Every structure is written in structure tokens, then in C-alpha cells.
């Protein structure tokens, strides 16, 4: 599960891709060390979970409250990043205490550090975008607005695509345990929604719409997470409470067939005499049958005759008269 040395992006990112923020975000926020999904159906569940999680993290209710406000959206992103910085390590720490009972934790050190680095990288990107926005709003210099504005637009696409990626793989925690992304998504959405429910802050939506928009995302994410972990348990024997080392290896790719003989048929034996001498052995001419009078390459004798020059299918000649 550990990433290849020096291959965070898997070698897929080129210099031309720098101008395309979504390509850079795909390479940075979905590194090569994240294991692929075990099942296409689990991939579909993750995409639905990403959409439901986006409802909670972005806050659709801000649109109904008074129009779309980019500044408020950015503040929500900073708040969510701060919550992730606290909730993710705490949740993972609790699971480490559970896994410690059934196996060592030393082998989980590398994927844990990789996931932490990915979390800090995303939070740093959100903070950098917020600083660019503040700089553009505070300055009156056209050159600064143009230069920083272009960078800010690039960072906006980079962070938006990165948020989509890290919500799907939840900072690569699937490299630690396959069920961990579903658990973290559930815990995060509930802890983001609970303060609004406790304080009664429905953002001017009224009781019905407020409860629907605040509880809709956590309930949806929880249901999808249960489906995801249930399929992992039934199809692959992966349980959330079991140590990752005890899981059966994931089915890999089928190894390629070895190259066949020149004829192109992989199951046809190579030409030649299977009973002959091995390749490279000196040639030894066949020896005649004892007493047959047959010499290979020369006439005379019959190699199938039992005696010298005899033919078993020729009638015998005249016999001499019997003499008492």
C-alpha cells in the first residue's frame, strides 16, 4: 500500500498540464499510492457520497438564504478545513486503538503519514486561496489585481477539483483501511450538522427546510456508507473493526500470457522430434539391427528382416531331397 519512492503523482503529470488546474489537482489530490476500488459498484456509491457530502460542506442553504455569496462559501470551506484537521486525526486515532487489539500498528505508519500529508496539503491550498481573495479585495493596484486574480482563478479550479477528489478518497485513508473513508465521511458530516441543530440556527429557512437541508446530507452519507461497508464485508470479508493486515489480498490483474512459438499458436508444441536428441547434442547415425545386413545410407539387406538378407514374406525355396 505504500507509495512508490518519489512517485506521488505516478509520473502522469507533465509540464503542459500545469496550465490545467483540474489535471494538477487529480495528480496531487489522488496520488498513485491510493489503492483502486475493489468494485465498480463501490465507485458509484463513492460518487453519490461525494455529492451528498458536498451538500453539507458547501451549504446549499446559503443559496436560499440570500443568494450565492462567494465570501461566505470560502468561510465555510475554511471552517470545514479546520474541522477536518481536528476530526480526522481523532477518528483515526480511535480506530487505531481498536485495531491495536488484533495486530501491530507499525506497518500502518507509512499510509498514515501519507494521508496526513494529503490532508495538510489540501488545507494549505484552501488557506492560500483565501489569502488570494483577500489580497484582490484589499488592493487597488490594477497590476496586482490582474496578477493575483489570474492566480486566484487557477487556485479556485485547483481547490474545487481537489475538494471533489479528497471527498471521494477522504485523504487517501483507504490505503490504511478500506472502510475508513466511509467512516470518516459519516463522522464529518454529522459533526458539521449537529451544531446547527443544537443551536437552532436554521439560517432563515424555517423549521421544515432547515431540518431537510441540515439533516439531508448526514443521513444520505450515512446510508451510503453503510451500503459501502456492507458490500466490502459481504464480497471481500473486510470489516471495519478488523486489523487491515488480516484482510485477504485484493484481486489483482491477470498476468499476461507468455509469448507463444513463432507459429502464433500458444498451445502448439515447437516443431521437431520430441524423442530425438536434445538441442546441441552431436549427431549419431542410427545403428543397424544385429544380423540384418542393413547399413544406413547404403543398399543391401532389409532392416525389417529377422535374418541376414531374409524376407519374412517370401516363400521358402526348394528343399533338398530327404536323405536317411
Q: Are 215 and 205 in contact (CB under 8 A)?
A: no
C-alpha cell at 263: 507459429
Count of CB atoms situated within 10 Å of the CB of 1: 16
Instruction: Name, in order, each residue with C-beta under 8 angstroms of 234's C-beta and a sequence gap of 6 or more.
Output: none
Q: Are 185 and 221 in contact (CB under 8 A)?
A: yes
The pLDDT, as a whole number, for residue 248 is: 54
Burial track 112-123 (b if 16+ CB lie within 10 A, e otherwise):
bebbbebbebbb
The beta-carbon contacts of 36-42 under 8 Å, at least 24 apart in sequence, are: 38/178, 38/232, 38/235, 38/236, 38/250, 38/251, 39/231, 39/235, 41/231, 42/228, 42/231, 42/232
C-alpha cell at 96: 487505531
Q: What is the 3-state secondary structure (H, E, C) of 151-178?
A: HHHHHHHHHHHHHHHHHHHCCCHHHCCC
Rounded (10°) CA dihedral 12, 16, 21, 26: -10
pTM over 0.95: no
The pLDDT, as a whole number, for residue 232 is: 92
The pLDDT, as a whole number, for residue 172 is: 92
Q: Nearest to residue 159, comparing CAs of 21, 64, 297?
A: 21
Would you write out the chain's pLDDT as a tens digit for each of its 324 residues? 444 444 687 777 888 888 899 999 999 999 989 988 888 888 887 787 777 666 655 555 555 555 556 676 777 778 878 888 898 999 999 999 999 998 899 999 999 999 999 999 999 999 999 999 888 888 888 888 898 889 999 999 999 899 889 888 899 999 999 999 999 989 988 887 777 777 666 656 666 776 777 787 788 889 988 999 999 999 999 999 999 987 655 544 444 445 544 444 555 555 555 555 555 555 555 555 555 555 555 545 555 555 454 555 555 555 555 555
Place of cell 501519507: 114
Burial track 245-256 (b if 16+ CB lie within 10 A, e otherwise):
eebeeeeeeeee
Amino acid at each position: 500500500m505504500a507509495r512508490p519512492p518519489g512517485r506521488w503523482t505516478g509520473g502522469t503529470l507533465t509540464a503542459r498540464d500545469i496550465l490545467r488546474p483540474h489535471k494538477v489537482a487529480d495528480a496531487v489530490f489522488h496520488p498513485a499510492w491510493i489503492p483502486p476500488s475493489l468494485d465498480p459498484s463501490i465507485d458509484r456509491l463513492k460518487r453519490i457520497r461525494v455529492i451528498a457530502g458536498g451538500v453539507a460542506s458547501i451549504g446549499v442553504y446559503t443559496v436560499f438564504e440570500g443568494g450565492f455569496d462567494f465570501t461566505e462559501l470560502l468561510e465555510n470551506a475554511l471552517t470545514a478545513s479546520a474541522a477536518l484537521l481536528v476530526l480526522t486525526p481523532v477518528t483515526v486515532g480511535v480506530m487505531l486503538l481498536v485495531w491495536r487489539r488484533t495486530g501491530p500498528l507499525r506497518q500502518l505508519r507509512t499510509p498514515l503519514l501519507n494521508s496526513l500529508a494529503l490532508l495538510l496539503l489540501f488545507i494549505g491550498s484552501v488557506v492560500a486561496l483565501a489569502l488570494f481573495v483577500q489580497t484582490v479585495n484589499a488592493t487597488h493596484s490594477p497590476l496586482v489585481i490582474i496578477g493575483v486574480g489570474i492566480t486566484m482563478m487557477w487556485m479556485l479550479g485547483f481547490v474545487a477539483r481537489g475538494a471533489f477528489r479528497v471527498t471521494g478518497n477522504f485523504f487517501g485513508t483507504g490505503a490504511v483501511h478500506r472502510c475508513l473513508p466511509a467512516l470518516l465521511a459519516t463522522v464529518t458530516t454529522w459533526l458539521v450538522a449537529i451544531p446547527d441543530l443544537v443551536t437552532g440556527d436554521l439560517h432563515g429557512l424555517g423549521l421544515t427546510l432547515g431540518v431537510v437541508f441540515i439533516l439531508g446530507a448526514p443521513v444520505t452519507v450515512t446510508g451510503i456508507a453503510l451500503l459501502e461497508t456492507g458490500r466490502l464485508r459481504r464480497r471481500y470479508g473486510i470489516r471495519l473493526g478488523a486489523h487491515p493486515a488480516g484482510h485477504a489480498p485484493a484481486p489483482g490483474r491477470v498476468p499476461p500470457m507468455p509469448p507463444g512459438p513463432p507459429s502464433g499458436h500458444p498451445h502448439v508444441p515447437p516443431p521437431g522430434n520430441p524423442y530425438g536428441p536434445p538441442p546441441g547434442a552431436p549427431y549419431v547415425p542410427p545403428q543397424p539391427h544385429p544380423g540384418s545386413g542393413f547399413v544406413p545410407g547404403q543398399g543391401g539387406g532389409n532392416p525389417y528382416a529377422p535374418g541376414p538378407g531374409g524376407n519374412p514374406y517370401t516363400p521358402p525355396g526348394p528343399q533338398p531331397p530327404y536323405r536317411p
